[in-house]
Amino acid sequence: MEQGAAALEKLMAVKTLDKAIEVQSDYAKAAYESYVAQATKMGGCSPAWPKTR
């Protein structure tokens, strides 16, 4: 959530389209990396579930 707010602030401050695209691309990359990290963490938990039952 904080990443999104920071990206929006940066996006509102840009003066050129190129910079806006750069800010958006950086945000999208960070969001994707965060998603993959969270999915990997959750994927690591799933093999343990059957063992606990």
What are the structural domain ranges in the chain? Answer: 2-51
Q: What are the pLDDT digits (tens) for 1-53?
A: 788 898 899 999 999 999 999 999 999 999 999 999 999 888 776 655 565 55
Query: What pLDDT score does 42 carry?
Result: 84
Q: Is 16 left (phi over 0), alpha (psi -120 to 50) or beta?
A: beta
Q: How many CA atoms lie within 13 A of 14 on its CB side?
A: 14
Query: What pLDDT score does 30 carry?
Result: 94
SS (H, E, C) the chain: CHHHHHHHHHHHHCCCHHHHHHHHHHHHHHHHHHHHHHHHHHHHHCCHHHHCC
The whole-angstrom separation of Cα 5 and Cα 35 is 17
This prediction's pTM:
0.70
